[in-house]
Chain A
Amino acid sequence: MGKAIGVDLGTTNSLAAYVKNGVPVVIRDESGDALVPSIVSVGDDGTIFVGREAQRRLLTAPSRSVYSVKRFMGRGIDDVTEDARLFPFRVSGEPGGVVRIGLGGQEFTPPEISGFVLRELKRRAEEHFRAQGEFDFEVDRAVITVPAYFNDAQRTATRDAGRVAGLEVLRIINEPTAASLAYGLDKRDRGTIAVYDLGGGTFDISILRVEDGVFQVLATNGDTHLGGDDIDRLLMEMVIADVGRAGSGVSTELTPELVQGIRKAVIQAKWDISEDQDAEIRVEAAPQLPTGYHRRITRAEFERLIAPLVDRTLEPCRQALADASLEPGDVNEVVLVGGSTRIPLVRARVAALFGRTPHSEINPDEVVALGAAVQADILVSGRREMLLLDVTPLSLGIETMGGATSKIILRNSTIPASGREMFTTAVDNQTAVDVHVLQGERELADDCRSLARFKLRGIPPMPAGLPRIEVRFQIDANGILSVSAGELRTGIAQAIEVKPSYGLTDGEVERMLIESFEHAEADFDARLLIEARNEAESVILATEKSLRRPDFSEVTASVLDPGETKRIAEALAELKSSMESGDRERIQRQTHALNHATQHLAEVVMNRSVREALTGRNVKDV
């Protein structure tokens, strides 16, 4: 059995963590970086780039690169048209169906894109475990976090992404709750905690009661469409308006390259202004913007601009408190999560609402992954010191006559939760009944989220109103719904035919999993080629360095025969030409040959270097 990790699959960045000797730690690369930008880019040859490399390609190949895909998870094209406007990639889809993102000549669903990010995290984790000398380094299971306010379709899409990445998804848990686990590790005493989580694309507030190691969520609220991205967008629109006004030769058509250039500039300014009282927005010169663009923005201007966005987070906070039957003063601790909580105005507003200084001791970018790792460890080990009891963020209901909704499981119900509803027939000998499952707080079905429509079939023919069909709704600990049905008079289980409103069918997930393996193979080959080239390069460099020694002939004359020198030169030339070929096996063969040819030379050089070092010459001179 392989290892289990905790994953924070973020709008902007993603990262993984695991529990090592009882302590959660984030997984970093050699340069100490934990964050993998949640960006995927498709190369001209179909190669998939993820993370930093994909981020670089945002500027060079913007229409082949996708970011903030979390905003599209579990959503339909009708939900995202507004969003899609400023995205440089192509977004399409059938009404009521899954969104599709066009990159190069290919189309991907959001779970596939997220799957690429997850696979990169899995790879990094495995590399980490391998480097630690672990024999069993394979990562095959994960706890993945989602915003607490994610609905069923968004959660299901996230789980599908895990499956597409070849991970068994142990559990989907809510980001704020995960953060509370990371914070609560050393504080097992009683208390009421508010977790304020403002990330790249989503906002959550969760109110928890902690007692005896049980972390019980009392209420949660939020906005799955509010985050740092929206702040970036305000700044971008300001810049675009400026550029247009100045008539600085910018064409009316904003090219993807220019949009990305502006986006990069405003993000940098946003970071700077959280540290200083003013910042400069500096857009590099581009073909459509020959002179470039720059302007100063003061902290006060910035805060005036973003205040309406920040204030939008306060109403969900009040609603969550009301649902938990609490006043702001009843909260003992406030915890900040998410990169956007670095903005001073956000901190000030939160402090004012709750009347206390919020906590931010743990890096707000890492705390969610750490909590996810703790939850993964609980599930895998069966440890019972801590238990998370979360709630479902939105009420679950069904459409009734006349387009109204009947609620079956109320929001903020502790999960797992179940509910049942009785159905019957309207006409004699009716054998099927349609059921429309909804999620949301509104009274009209049209205002709620459609989760699925299904048909109860095989009802035994009876007079109208006689069948008693029980439909059972079960929300599991992931916050994901399953539905089952049976006719109680006859005890016949009902076949259910379902059309998930914005989700993928199992068959589609299967297909994507297979494709991702094919991609994985192509990606794996690409990586092996890069590794082979790197190794060849280092052998070439070392060889050339030896050949360039001023004392080369002096050193080698006595010990190397001319044939040997010639063989080295030939092997070197062969390897160099194989580098161009892209044929990994040939590169490896030629690397091996050059290594072999230079073995004697290397020994001679080494011996001489050692002697020189011993007689006082600096090794660097060798």
Chain B
Amino acid sequence: MTLKPIPVRSESTLECRSCGAGAPVDEHFCSQCSRILALGRHGDFFTFFGLPRRLTVDARDLERRFRELSRKFHPDFFYNAAASERLASLERSSYLNDAYRVLRNSVSRIEYLLSLEGFSPATPETGGVAGASRVPPSLLEEVFALNEELDEIRELRESGFDAAQLRVRLDAARTPIDRRREAHERELETLSARWDAQVEAPAAERRAILEALRACLLERHYIINLLATIEREAASLDPALSPAPPPGDAEPSAHG
């Protein structure tokens, strides 16, 4: 590991460090001297890929663009270039890899869109229990029922009740939560399609869709935490089994 001071800069348009010509932020190479441009601070993942700010993304098309851009930027091809071009290649490759990781997953794509549109993150930062502190109103009923059932199961388990029977009860308690999760996946899809169709709509309508997306994501995170709690209880019913990972954890990269 090495350490160095950060280059502090704030250009709003790009300036070619090789020939001094100006360039729009979504360009990768200088139109004058065709050298790789240093990465600006004002582009975004969508423009970087040459894509509109939409939530429906063709996975094959995105992958093809990723490979094409990798072939253009990768540090392998700038080994003998000037230091400024090597740095630009490193920055652009990193940005490309980050952009691809975020955009290829539907949930991280929505989270990214929300952050671009000025919303605070819909994910609890650490992905841990922080998101469980406030119950979304629409989930109050299910959460109440589930917590009661979990408490009872826990008590019975500690008093040595038959594990197989408890597992049946746990599965039953899980069913409505699983159903809510499926409903959320469908709702996210519907909202995403609405966003894509209303790119030209008035700001207030667009904002309403984003609000709905954000609320939906928050609930989704809450549901995933609930499922994780159920998984943990299931694991303690059968100590021989190690706890299974929650379905859809805080690492979006794990889901292509």
Decide: B256 and A214 in contact? CB cutoff 8 A.
Answer: no
Q: Which of B4, B70, B94 contacts A417 (CB 8 A)?
A: B94
> What residue in chain B is nearest A156 (Cβ atoms)?
B1
Q: Which of B2, B94, B255 contacts A480 (CB 8 A)?
A: B2
Decide: A378 and B76 in contact? CB cutoff 8 A.
Answer: yes
Decide: B94 and A503 in contact? CB cutoff 8 A.
Answer: no
Q: How long is the Cα–Cα vector from A496 to B75 in the complex, in angstroms?
A: 26
Whether B133 sits at the interface, judged by CB under 8 Å, is no
Known A-B contacts A417-B94, A476-B90; A437 and B1 likewise in contact (beta carbons under 8 Å): yes
Decide: B6 and A387 in contact? CB cutoff 8 A.
Answer: no
Selecting from B95-103, B168-176, B201-209, the interface stretch reads B95-103
Central interface residue in B3, B80, B91, B253, by most chain A CB within 10 Å: B3
Selecting from A130-138, A484-492, A546-554, the interface stretch reads A484-492
Decide: A483 and B1 in contact? CB cutoff 8 A.
Answer: yes
Decide: B94 and A496 in contact? CB cutoff 8 A.
Answer: no
Selecting from A361-369, A408-416, A578-586, the interface stretch reads A408-416
Query: What residues of chain A lie closer than 8 Å to B253, measured between beta carbons?
Result: 410, 412-413
Q: How long is the Cα–Cα vector from A494 to B8 in the complex, in angstroms?
A: 10
Whether B93 sits at the interface, judged by CB under 8 Å, is yes
Q: Which of B1, B2, B90, B101 contacts A414 (CB 8 A)?
A: B101
CB 8 Å contact bits of A146-179 with B (1 = contact, 0 = none): 0000001100100000000000001100000000
Residues in B108-130 with C-beta less than 8 Å from chain A: 125-126
Interface majority SS (helix, strand, loop, mixed), chain A: strand
Whether A429 sits at the interface, judged by CB under 8 Å, is no
Query: What residues of chain A lie closer than 8 Å to B125, measured between beta carbons?
Result: 406
Decide: A214 and B1 in contact? CB cutoff 8 A.
Answer: no
Q: How long is the Cα–Cα vector from A524 to B238 in the complex, in angstroms?
A: 66
Known A-B contacts A382-B80, A481-B1; A416 and B256 likewise in contact (beta carbons under 8 Å): no
Query: What residues of chain B lie closer than 8 Å to A606, measured between beta carbons?
Result: none
Known A-B contacts A380-B79, A382-B77; A485 and B6 likewise in contact (beta carbons under 8 Å): yes
Decide: A491 and B95 in contact? CB cutoff 8 A.
Answer: no
Query: What residues of chain A lie closer than 8 Å to B74, measured between beta carbons?
Result: 387, 389, 477
Known A-B contacts A416-B90, A418-B95, A476-B90; A387 and B1 likewise in contact (beta carbons under 8 Å): no
CB 8 Å contact bits of A425-462 with B (1 = contact, 0 = none): 00000000000010000000000000110100000000
Whether B186 sits at the interface, judged by CB under 8 Å, is no
Q: Which of B6, B67, B90, B255 contacts A484 (CB 8 A)?
A: B6
Whether B251 sits at the interface, judged by CB under 8 Å, is yes
Interface size on B, residues (CB 8 A): 34
Known A-B contacts A415-B97, A417-B94, A503-B1; A491 and B76 likewise in contact (beta carbons under 8 Å): no
Central interface residue in A378, A414, A484, A496, by most chain B CB within 10 Å: A414
Known A-B contacts A379-B79, A474-B94; A384 and B3 likewise in contact (beta carbons under 8 Å): no
> What residue in chain A is nearest B100 (Cβ atoms)?
A414
Query: What residues of chain B lie closer than 8 Å to A416, measured between beta carbons?
Result: 75, 90, 93-94, 97
> How many inter-chain residue pairs (CB < 8 Å) link A and B?
117
Central interface residue in B1, B94, B256, by most chain A CB within 10 Å: B1
Decide: B2 and A214 in contact? CB cutoff 8 A.
Answer: no
Whether A495 sits at the interface, judged by CB under 8 Å, is yes
Q: Which of B1, B71, B90, B255 contacts A451 (CB 8 A)?
A: B1
Min CB gap A215→B, angstroms: 11
Q: How long is the Cα–Cα vector from A382 to B71 in the complex, in angstroms?
A: 11
Whether A482 sits at the interface, judged by CB under 8 Å, is yes
Whether A284 sits at the interface, judged by CB under 8 Å, is no
Decide: A212 and B67 in contact? CB cutoff 8 A.
Answer: yes
Q: Which of A325, A418, A482 contacts B255 (CB 8 A)?
A: A325
Q: How long is the Cα–Cα vector from A481 to B75 in the complex, in angstroms?
A: 15
Q: How long is the Cα–Cα vector from A495 to B70 in the complex, in angstroms?
A: 33
Decide: A477 and B75 in contact? CB cutoff 8 A.
Answer: yes
Residues in A108-149 with C-beta less than 8 Å from chain B: none
Known A-B contacts A211-B67, A387-B76, A410-B253; A486 and B94 likewise in contact (beta carbons under 8 Å): no
Decide: A491 and B94 in contact? CB cutoff 8 A.
Answer: no
Q: How long is the Cα–Cα vector from A472 to B67 in the complex, in angstroms?
A: 25
Q: How long is the Cα–Cα vector from A389 to B74 in the complex, in angstroms?
A: 9
Residues in B1-58 with C-beta less than 8 Å from chain A: 1-8, 10
Q: How long is the Cα–Cα vector from A492 to B253 in the complex, in angstroms?
A: 34
Whether A464 sits at the interface, judged by CB under 8 Å, is no
Min CB gap B72→A, angstroms: 9
Query: What residues of chain B lie closer than 8 Å to A324, measured between beta carbons?
Result: 256
Whether A239 sits at the interface, judged by CB under 8 Å, is no
Whether B254 sits at the interface, judged by CB under 8 Å, is yes
Whether A573 sits at the interface, judged by CB under 8 Å, is no
CB 8 Å contact bits of A354-380 with B (1 = contact, 0 = none): 000000000000000000000000111
Whether A223 sits at the interface, judged by CB under 8 Å, is no
Decide: B67 and A214 in contact? CB cutoff 8 A.
Answer: yes
Query: What residues of chain B lie closer than 8 Å to A414, measured between beta carbons?
Result: 97, 100-101
Min CB gap B224→A, angstroms: 17
> What residue in chain A is nearest B4 (Cβ atoms)?
A484
Q: How long is the Cα–Cα vector from A418 to B91 in the complex, in angstroms?
A: 8
Q: Which of A404, A485, A500 contacts B1 (CB 8 A)?
A: A500
Whether A493 sits at the interface, judged by CB under 8 Å, is yes
Q: How long is the Cα–Cα vector from A383 to B2 in the complex, in angstroms?
A: 29
Whether A560 sits at the interface, judged by CB under 8 Å, is no
Decide: A483 and B3 in contact? CB cutoff 8 A.
Answer: yes
Query: What residues of chain A lie closer than 8 Å to B98, measured between beta carbons?
Result: 413, 417-418
Min CB gap A201→B, angstroms: 23
Residues in A462-519 with C-beta less than 8 Å from chain B: 470, 472, 474-477, 480-486, 488, 491-496, 498, 500, 503
Q: Which of A387, A389, A410, A495 contacts B251 (CB 8 A)?
A: A410
Decide: A494 and B76 in contact? CB cutoff 8 A.
Answer: no
Query: What residues of chain B lie closer than 8 Å to A437, measured between beta carbons?
Result: 1
Query: What residues of chain B lie closer than 8 Å to A494, measured between beta carbons?
Result: 5-6
Decide: B8 and A492 in contact? CB cutoff 8 A.
Answer: yes
Q: How long is the Cα–Cα vector from A324 to B254 in the complex, in angstroms?
A: 7
Q: Which of B3, B8, B71, B77 contacts A491 (CB 8 A)?
A: B8
> What residue in chain B is nearest A389 (Cβ atoms)?
B70
Whether A272 sits at the interface, judged by CB under 8 Å, is no
Decide: A413 and B101 in contact? CB cutoff 8 A.
Answer: yes
Whether A262 sits at the interface, judged by CB under 8 Å, is no
Query: What residues of chain B lie closer than 8 Å to A476, measured between beta carbons?
Result: 75, 90
Q: How long is the Cα–Cα vector from A483 to B1 in the complex, in angstroms?
A: 8
Min CB gap A436→B, angstroms: 12
Q: How long is the Cα–Cα vector from A489 to B79 in the complex, in angstroms?
A: 35
Q: How long is the Cα–Cα vector from A446 to B110 in the complex, in angstroms?
A: 34
Query: What residues of chain B lie closer than 8 Å to A325, measured between beta carbons?
Result: 254-256
Q: How long is the Cα–Cα vector from A493 to B77 in the complex, in angstroms?
A: 30
Decide: B4 and A418 in contact? CB cutoff 8 A.
Answer: no
Known A-B contacts A323-B254, A410-B251, A418-B98; A482 and B76 likewise in contact (beta carbons under 8 Å): no
Q: How long is the Cα–Cα vector from A387 to B90 in the complex, in angstroms?
A: 15
Q: How long is the Cα–Cα vector from A323 to B10 in the complex, in angstroms?
A: 37
Q: Which of A214, A472, A480, A488 contacts B71 (CB 8 A)?
A: A214
Min CB gap B135→A, angstroms: 24
Extra A-B contacts (17), CB below 8 Å, given A325-B256, A480-B2, A484-B7: A170-B79, A212-B67, A323-B254, A379-B79, A389-B70, A389-B74, A410-B251, A412-B253, A414-B97, A414-B100, A417-B97, A418-B91, A482-B1, A486-B5, A493-B8, A494-B6, A503-B1
A-B contact pairs, 18 of them (CB 8 A): A214-B67, A325-B256, A380-B80, A384-B71, A387-B76, A410-B253, A413-B253, A414-B97, A417-B94, A417-B97, A418-B98, A452-B3, A472-B6, A475-B94, A477-B74, A481-B2, A484-B5, A496-B5
Residues of B near any A CB (own CB < 8 A):
1-8, 10, 67, 70-71, 74-77, 79-80, 90-91, 93-95, 97-98, 100-101, 125-126, 251, 253-256
Residues of A near any B CB (own CB < 8 A):
152-153, 156, 170-171, 211-212, 214, 216, 322-325, 378-380, 382, 384, 387-389, 404, 406, 410, 412-418, 437, 451-452, 454, 470, 472, 474-477, 480-486, 488, 491-496, 498, 500, 503
